[in-house]
Chain A
Amino acid sequence: MSAATAAAPARAAARPEPRRSGARRRADVAAGYTFLSPWLLGFVLLTAGPMLASLYLAFTDYDLFRPPTWIGLDNFTAMFSDARYLKSAQVTSLYVFIGTPVKLASALAVAMLLNMKFSGQGGYRSAFYVPSLVGASVSVAIVWKAMFIDDGVVDRIQQTVGAPAGGWVGNPDMTIPMMILLAVWQFGAPMVIFLAGLKQIPAELYEAASMDGAGPLRKFWNITLPMLSPVLFFNLLLETIHSFQVFASAFIISGGTGGPADSTNFYTLYLYTKGFVQFDMGYASAMAWVLVLVVGVITALMFRTSRAWVHYSGEEN
């Protein structure tokens, strides 16, 4: 996101202005780079440099204490026989490929409710956004855990409806649903974007459809979804990438272990354990790059398929 915002002034500064002298133009360029420098320095020193270093470390045996030694592709091949690695990949996939669609569906449903016209709507809009403001914080993960333990709020509700399941936190089969619910609950960001998208759909379309006798479902499939598809695509992309990065909530709920029984040992959490707890930074770096590749491939696939289902208004014909 910093990439997108910081690139804008650079483009503006570099815009050619033919009437000015060469010296003036060079001064403009220099000024541009000066304004850009905080970001540029940060990018080179804090992002690009460490990324290159981790690319190198991915091919080494590095325990943080001794100089790294080159071992070629060993870290990458070791992943295939590492049961915990495979389990963490599986757990993360479940979280991403079930959690993201559910989250987007809820966000869209709520956005459509909030797009209706009735009084007090502004208050509701704020209220539904609140979880996303506090959602990333440590305290929410702690509260979440408290809600799902034995005799917690959720357990009591289950008792009243006659389906006691005990605490979810200690049950390895229930932790992923719990984590997904936590993510879904924080639907505020995609919801706001959906809401903005919904507001841009011309009302005439719905009026015309009503004239032709279309019902609400028909309008949703044939007008809302196609008109919303660019926004949907944007949200899908962002939330998928975001889901792959899940770390803090799992770290807190499992006390940093990925437990119970590795059921919340998400990819990033295992990566952290490997690098900073088990002194295998080479392996951790290799894991990081595999994740970058996987996220890259999935993103590319989404862009590819988007041509078939994303409609930018005005682009047709």
Chain B
Amino acid sequence: MATVHVENIKKTYDKGSVLALDNVSFDVKSGELFGLIGPDGAGKTSLFRILTTLLLPDGGHAQVAGLDVVNDLWKIRRIVGYMPGKFSLYQDLSIEENLQFFATVFNTTVEKNYHLIEDIYVQIEPFKKRLAGKLSGGMKQKLALCCALIHEPKVLFLDEPTTGVDPVSRKEFWDMLDRLKTRGITIVVSTPYMDEASRCDRIALIQKGKILELDTLTKIIGRHAQNLYAVNADNRYQLMHDLRKPAEIESSFAFGEEQHVTLRTPENGENYLIDYLTQTGHSDITVRKIDPTIEDVFIKLMLENQ
């Protein structure tokens, strides 16, 4: 049975004028690490708030661990852990005091569930007397995770835990989630960073309140095989401009040091691109046919949905 079951959830704001969630449906299996991937304003936070009983949906149903998010409010609040998008601990309390306070709020003690947070907590323990407001981004995040875990939740909802955090701390954070998964906790996490998709068991790509795709990373990428080429030349600025001109080229987006280009006709793409760029006066041209990344897929889906 699904640990999180979402069925045609709809949410609007400002008397229906702003559509935040448009008939969203998905299931998260027990023990799964599920990623909701999409930009700011895609509806991720609204979805989390509905699943954590903070908001009422305008339509549809949702269950967490078999409990209804509208009717079984108090039962759900006992079994979920939630880390909101904004850092939401008491800045004027120390690490220790925050943790103890949230343990008590959930009717438990730090000692009782220490085993759950131990390997995260030891990293911040040397600073346990420090006020939460004075911690670094990475440390705040670890403390927030400890506070969300302290009552041994069955399901953990993490809303953009890695936003604004540097790549090293992000990587550490995902490593922590991997270890939590081995304890059987179901984790639903949202992120605007496409590259984090590879850390999830399954992902949902979400944009403007709609789920664009939902599956494992490999399957999603497999489903969206494209005529995709990585192109490079010495004058980057000129290259970007020239790749936008021909009708033959469907799209061209910068990806790191290269441009990812899709063509309308599948045959002889490499030759076409090399010829075209040579004619327009580029040098050091490299063209490779590549498999799409999840970000290529996201862009493709966004263009299709426009």
> Do A and B make up one complex?
no
B-to-A contact residues, CB < 8 Å: none
